[in-house]
Amino acid sequence: MSIAVAPEVAAALARGGAVVALESTIICHGMPYPKNLQTAVEVEAVVRDGGAIPATIAILDGVPHVGLSSEQLKRMAISGRQFQKTARRDIAHVVASGGNGATTVSATMFFAHKVGIPIFVTGGIGGVHRDGEQTMDISSDLTELGKTPVAVISAGVKSILDIPRTLEYLETQGVTVAAYRTNEFPAFFTEISGCQVPCRVDSPEECAKIIHANKNLDLGSGILIAVPIPTQDAASGNLIESAIQKALKEAEEKRIIGNAITPFMLERVKELTGGSSLEANIALVKNNARLGAEIAVALSNLQKKGKNRMGRSAL
Marked catalytic residue, from 85, 158, 270, 286: 158
Instruction: Report DSSP letters for 134-180, one per residue.
Output: HH--B-HHHHHHHHS--EEEESBB-TTB-HHHHHHHHHHTT-EEEEE
310 burial via Cβ count (<10 Å: 0-12, 13-18, 19+):
exposed
- C-beta separation of 68 from 76 below 8 A: yes
Residue 104, helix vs strand vs coil: coil
Per annotation, catalytic residue among 23, 44, 144, 191: 23
Q: Is 74 designated active site?
A: no
* Burial of residue 256 (number of CB atoms within 10 Å: 0-12, 13-18, 19+): middle
Which CB contacts under 8 angstroms, 24+ apart, belong to 194-199? 194/163, 195/163, 195/164, 195/167, 197/226
Q: Is 158 a catalytic residue?
A: yes
Catalytic positions: 23, 158
